[in-house]
């Protein structure tokens, strides 16, 4: 027997497992950590991928819009934004000609305190910051139509700027393939209706078909959501991009900068090299953590764990999750959907009125309904957890005891186990799939 430890909240859950049954302990591939982020940012914007250096693109007197991610995204904006602005200033662009636009998508805008956290106190005090509002038609400008028929309207402060810089972080995304890059535009600064049109393509084109199989983590080719995002971004054609790439453990590995697609694409390839782990077989049991705080603050964010861990488990297998979830019922629009059991009606309702939280809830329930799912969490969460299709457990040891009983019931003596300590940021890739 061997002791294994998985993150949960700000602590860990431990369990004794038969070591010979553990076929994979997926924690990502070896990755370099960037120890001089400021230096890497400066080097990236002066030696970009696929375009001229930033200082050769902007000119004194031009207005510049910088699109940044909101506080819910891990991308290190406070580390790279001051350097971008210093470079603009050095080129002759004045502070008053720069506007920061927070790419909220459909999220709420920042408070003043959150602006200071995300942008740094100095930048928040110096530069005008606009909170994108996807529902405020007075702040939106139509810029064209994609091949899917999506009428793309975006934030007017970006559309009307002489130069546009988009920023963010490259990450695995459960239906766009990867986050970062073009997502700063769609959904980041797009109109609500444009966003819903785009995201609705994550459902199967066949009614009753559930989720679109072409829309999943790391999938870009043939992914209609990604294609529409790219077309929307191309309509704007941003002048420059800077994205961070994080290790599965949550540290900056590299900075990519330059052309809005080429530089981002390199980031995607590099992320997959770190986060994508090849496996030769699926396991009977997958034990997974989102990676602890803040990734398991609520179930909405923590289901990224489900989205990736599903690729490691056999159909009808067992999944055990360690998720603290102190705010398990936030946001309510997600949790209200997540506890629904009539999947046929659920799908019909989503198609009639698509929202992102309802889709995430639907996709998560589809995963849970295909397995036996145990959720290690706070005891005060148990009543709600039971309504979501999970079996609540107070400890990882208790969950493993229940899983063993289930394996015995299934007469599985030669069972296998895969462990994923950072499942939100790692992706099992089945060889020869």
pLDDT tens-digit series, residues 198-210: 999 999 999 999 9
Q: Are residues 243 and 204 in contact, defined by beta-carbon separation less than 8 angstroms?
A: no
Percentage of the chain exceeding pLDDT 70: 100
d(CA 268, CA 180): 9
Both tokens of 298, joined, read 């609520």
Helical residues (DSSP H) of 205-298, grouped into ranges: 224-236, 262-275
d(CA 177, CA 216): 5
Could you list the active site residues?
Answer: 107, 173
Query: Where along the chain do its domains lie?
Result: 2-29+277-430, 37-246
Region 217-237: mean pLDDT is: 97
Q: Are residues 131 and 111 in contact, defined by beta-carbon separation less than 8 angstroms?
A: no
- The predicted pLDDT at position 355 comes to 86
- Beta strand 163-173 pairing with 177-179: antiparallel
186-195, 336-345, 347-356: range with highest mean pLDDT: 186-195
Q: How confident is the model at residue 235 (pLDDT cuts 50, 70, 90)?
A: very high
- The predicted pLDDT at position 333 comes to 85
Both tokens of 247, joined, read 């290790």
Region 378-390: mean pLDDT is: 95
CATH topology for 2-29+277-430? Answer: 2-enoyl-CoA Hydratase; Chain A, domain 1 (3.90.226)
Half-sphere exposure of 269 (CA within 13 A, CB side): 7
d(CA 375, CA 319): 8
Q: Are residues 312 and 417 in contact, defined by beta-carbon separation less than 8 angstroms?
A: no
Q: Is the pLDDT of residue 248 over 90?
A: no
67-81, 88-102, 291-305, 354-368: range with highest mean pLDDT: 88-102
Give the pLDDT confidence of 272-326 residue by residue, as tens digits: 999 999 999 999 999 999 999 988 999 998 999 999 999 999 999 999 999 999 9
- The predicted pLDDT at position 341 comes to 86
Q: What is the mean pLDDT of the chain?
A: 95
Q: How confident is the model at residue 193 (pLDDT cuts 50, 70, 90)?
A: very high
CATH topology for 37-246? Answer: Rossmann fold (3.40.50)
Region 232-239: mean pLDDT is: 98
Phi, psi of 398 (to 5 degrees): -60, -45
**The length of the chain, given as a count of residues:** 433
49 DSSP assignment: B
Q: How confident is the model at residue 231 (pLDDT cuts 50, 70, 90)?
A: very high
Q: Are residues 396 and 376 in contact, defined by beta-carbon separation less than 8 angstroms?
A: yes
Largest CA distance in the chain: 74
Q: Are residues 372 and 233 in contact, defined by beta-carbon separation less than 8 angstroms?
A: no
37-246 shares the fold of 2-29+277-430: no
- The predicted pLDDT at position 167 comes to 98
pTM of the predicted model as reported, rounded to 2 decimal places: 0.90
Q: Is the pLDDT of residue 433 over 80?
A: no
């Amino acid at each position: 027997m061997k002791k294994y430890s998985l993150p949960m909240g700000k602590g860990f859950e431990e369990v004794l497992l038969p070591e010979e049954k553990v076929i994979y302990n997926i924690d990502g591939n070896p990755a370099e950590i960037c120890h001089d982020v400021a230096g890497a940012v400066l080097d990236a914007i002066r030696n970009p991928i696929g375009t001229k250096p930033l200082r050769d693109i902007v000119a004194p007197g031009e207005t510049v819009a910088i699109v940044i991610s909101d506080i819910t995204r891990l991308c290190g904006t406070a580390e790279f934004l001051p350097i971008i602005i210093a470079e603009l200033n050095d080129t002759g662009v004045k502070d008053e000609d720069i506007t920061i636009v927070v790419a909220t998508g459909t999220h709420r805008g920042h408070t003043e305190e959150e602006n200071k956290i995300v942008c740094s106190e100095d930048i928040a005090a110096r530069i005008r910051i606009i909170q994108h509002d996807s529902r405020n038609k007075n702040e939106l400008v139509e810029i064209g139509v994609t091949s899917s028929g999506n009428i793309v309207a975006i934030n007017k402060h970006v559309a009307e700027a002489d130069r546009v810089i988009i920023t963010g972080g490259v990450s695995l995304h459960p239906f766009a393939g990867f986050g970062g890059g073009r997502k700063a535009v769609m959904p980041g600064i797009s109109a609500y209706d444009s966003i819903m049109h785009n995201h609705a393509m994550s459902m199967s084109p066949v009614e009753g078909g559930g989720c679109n199989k072409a829309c999943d983590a790391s999938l870009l080719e043939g992914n209609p959501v990604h294609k529409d995002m790219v077309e929307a971004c191309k309509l704007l054609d941003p002048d420059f991009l800077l994205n961070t790439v994080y290790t599965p453990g949550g540290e900056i590995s590299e900075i990519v900068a330059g052309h809005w697609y080429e530089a981002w694409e390199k980031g995607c390839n590099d992320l997959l090299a770190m986060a994508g782990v090849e496996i030769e077989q699926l396991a009977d049991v997958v034990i997974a953590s989102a990676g602890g705080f803040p990734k398991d603050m609520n179930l909405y964010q923590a289901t990224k764990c489900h989205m990736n861990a599903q690729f490691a488990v056999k159909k009808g297998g067992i999944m055990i999750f360690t998720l603290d979830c102190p705010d398990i019922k936030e946001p309510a629009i997600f949790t209200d959907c997540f506890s629904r059991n009539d999947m046929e009606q659920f799908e019909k309702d989503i198609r009639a009125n698509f929202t992102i939280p309802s889709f995430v809830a639907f996709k998560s329930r589809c995963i849970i309904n295909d397995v036996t799912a145990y959720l290690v969490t706070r005891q005060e969460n148990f009543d709600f957890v039971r309504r979501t299709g999970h079996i609540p457990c107070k400890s990882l040891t208790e969950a493993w005891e229940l899983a063993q009983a289930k394996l015995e019931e299934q007469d599985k003596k030669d069972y296998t186990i895969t462990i994923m300590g950072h499942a939100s940021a790692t992706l099992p890739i089945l060889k020869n799939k």
